[in-house]
Structure 1
């Protein structure tokens, strides 16, 4: 073989190798994060807004990073069981989640403050935590445990019941009730009920079999998990409610530290930009809840100021006292939260 044909052959082989490796090189330039959450997949405008939020976040991050960062969304606990997600975020075995933060109270007791009865009275007040000392302290605690808050999401909630409406503490006596976190469970027990701990994704089965008589959860979950099919009554969050839960978009510090500074900037900017969408979705579901349950024949009731005050009195004698006693700097955290008006 002469030198010229040999050189041509070598050039062709190098070119072929380059073409073959090009997709691999391109893939190597793309960081992929997995986002798992427990909520039902959304199939339209009326779908669960928390899944919509996750998908919007993923799409906008990919677009704004020019495809260098992709986020795969796994709804309905399809990637990881609900109760495993907080620990997995801390360990870095899960990249991201939209998660009720109080679910992590067994590992980080301070986060149960984010489902303390009657501590937050409105969406606007909850969002003001973000820039207040309580928000900064929550950021510090979580980041020291391996988790970072990306999007602040609060949700109001109500009470679905298999029998009569639950408006005042006396209505809860003798009932098996799901609260959502230790703080709510303490108030339930203080009202004469029997608190049962399980994620919102398991409420339907528990109520349909009689394991639960009633359940406290967000308005969106009361709709998305079709609890109207197993409930005869619902207390909505349209008026007063003692149930406000923090359900943020979270990223593990392990995943965060793998991102470039530019990608980190986009993640936080997109996360913040979606907070109004979350408020709008949550408020819409507070109203829609009544319509969905009424259409199914359930009795729909709203809590008034007098009923709310009775729940607050019990919460302060149970949840607040226990948190202040059992959690490091518990009273200081309560004080910081109550300072946000």
Structure 2
């Protein structure tokens, strides 16, 4: 009887430990209305519904870690999962700067092929060196807004005070003859309103949420061609993933597959919504052509790509792999 009681107590204790071991923490920087939170929530909900004793608690709005400070905690296992623009860690791994590089991705279907490419496989090998793996691939896109004219071809920014989203884009725009004004997306509206800024490049969602349509004459939306694509995956600590049961990993994988399809469709929807909002507010719409895209890409080759190629032999190989994805 005594043995049975001890065995029961031990089993209860082991069960408590197991339950604690299957509680994962997921960190990101956005509000609960953002598509990236919705992707995380979908994974958490699907895994919870699978009944595999795995709970994911989401910490949005930088409530666990600051936006740019999440990579190292994930690598160290201090947090289990993050949704994270990988270029934020470009200072740690130069290869990650290719995930926010002008002209590497031309549209969302191309982005989906990029996610499935040898290039992304090499990026994932680098992540694995830091004990990190990708659960959900995803790119979000953006366009241009001009205060007085349309911005579709490189000559459109000559002499214009322009805000770009990312260092590589600043290099490319400067190469096209623009003057660069560095600021956050939240500052674009006032800068356009006061005449400090002639043109801006940012994400579709930021164009809408910051009401840039009130200050723009023309909008270049994401269409068949766009320059700005930023890779923002949901990643997980690999040791944590490997430590789960087969059933838990299977549930995570299934949830991730569903969330990735959702992420792609939502990204396309956000771009379409941005175009509609600008149109409804009387802003001229001018989509980028293939010829214009290639003209920008040629300038990127002499500026941002050239800077990147000045790194290691591995960096050069990675850029070539990215450019080879049709």
Fold in common (TM above 0.5): yes
Unaligned runs of 5+ in 1: 1-9, 43-47
Q: Which moved more, 1:32-41 or 1:112-121?
A: 32-41
Q: Given the alignment of the two structures, is residue 287 of structure 1 paired with residue 272 of structure 2, yes or no?
A: yes
Tell me if the contact between 1:178 and 1:212 (Cα under 8 Å) persists in the aligned partners.
no
Q: Which moved more, 1:187-196 or 1:202-211?
A: 202-211
User: 1:203 pairs with 170, 185, 200, which one?
Assistant: 185
Q: Which deviations, in whole Å up to 9, do the C-alpha atoms of 1:267-297 show, x marking residues without a partner?
A: 2232122222111111112211111123334
2:222 aligns with 237
User: 1:320 pairs with 298, 305, 315, which one?
Assistant: 305
User: 2:35 pairs with 49, 52, 58, which one?
Assistant: 49
Seen in structure 2, the aligned counterparts of structure 1 residues 161 and 82 have a Cα distance that, compared at 3 Å, is farther
Q: How far off its partner does 1:209 sit?
A: 5.1
Q: Which deviations, in whole Å up to 9, do the C-alpha atoms of 1:115-145 show, x marking residues without a partner?
A: 2221222323322334432122111011112
Seen in structure 2, the aligned counterparts of structure 1 residues 159 and 325 have a Cα distance that, compared at 3 Å, is same
TM value normalised by structure 1: 0.80
User: 1:39 pairs with 30, 45, 48, which one?
Assistant: 30
1:339 aligns with 324
Tell me if the contact between 1:33 and 1:96 (Cα under 8 Å) persists in the aligned partners.
yes
Q: Which deviations, in whole Å up to 9, do the C-alpha atoms of 1:222-258 show, x marking residues without a partner?
A: 3345444565542101242122221111113354344
Q: Which residues of 2 match residues 1-341 of structure 1 at below 5 A?
A: 25=16, 28-29=19-20, 31-42=22-33, 48-64=34-50, 66=51, 68-172=53-157, 173-180=159-166, 182-195=167-180, 202-205=184-187, 207-208=189-190, 214-228=199-213, 231-341=216-326
Root-mean-square deviation (CA, aligned residues, Å) is 3.2
SS of equivalent to 1:250: strand
User: d(CA) in 2 for partners of 1:289 and 1:137?
Assistant: 33
User: d(CA) in 1 for partners of 2:146 and 2:75?
Assistant: 35
Q: How far off its partner does 1:39 sit?
A: 2.8
Q: How far off its partner does 1:195 sit?
A: 4.6
Tell me if the contact between 1:30 and 1:68 (Cα under 8 Å) persists in the aligned partners.
no
User: d(CA) in 1 for partners of 2:43 and 2:165?
Assistant: 29
1:45 aligns with none
Unaligned runs of 5+ in 2: none
Tell me if the contact between 2:152 and 2:220 (Cα under 8 Å) persists in the aligned partners.
yes
Tell me if the contact between 1:179 and 1:195 (Cα under 8 Å) persists in the aligned partners.
no
Q: Which deviations, in whole Å up to 9, do the C-alpha atoms of 1:61-89 show, x marking residues without a partner?
A: 1222x262211223333333222223332
User: d(CA) in 2 for partners of 1:215 and 1:337?
Assistant: 26
TM value normalised by structure 2: 0.83
User: d(CA) in 2 for partners of 1:161 and 1:75?
Assistant: 33
Q: How far off its partner does 1:320 sit?
A: 1.4
Seen in structure 2, the aligned counterparts of structure 1 residues 53 and 177 have a Cα distance that, compared at 3 Å, is same
Bigger Cα Rg: 1
User: d(CA) in 1 for partners of 2:241 and 2:118?
Assistant: 23
